[in-house]
Amino acid sequence: MKFTPYFQNEVLKKRPEIQLEWILQTYHFPDYKEIQEDGRIRLWKWIDPSRKYLRVILLEDEMTIHNAFFDRGFKP
């Protein structure tokens, strides 16, 4: 698993409430998965402590994490 510079330099700083452990859980054991038209992969996982779905965006290689955020609009 790798991280984009955007993820390392922006996402982790902008969203300190998101724990890296939750991102890794979503990466390894997503509840839902979808491939975007541009080839990137969306992963969602319910995070009990936050009572929200976390969305993690991977690059096309399926190994590089690009973004992570709580997805308020996601409906399973």
What pLDDT, on the 0 to 100 scale, is given for residue 76?
87
- Average model confidence (pLDDT) for the chain? 96
DSSP state of 61: T
- What is the C-alpha to C-alpha distance for residues 72 and 37, in angstroms, rounded to an integer? 21
Residue 54 structure tokens: 């976390």
pTM: 0.94
Taking only the tens place, the pLDDT of each residue in 41-59 is 999 999 999 999 999 999 9
Spell out the domain ranges in the chain. 2-70
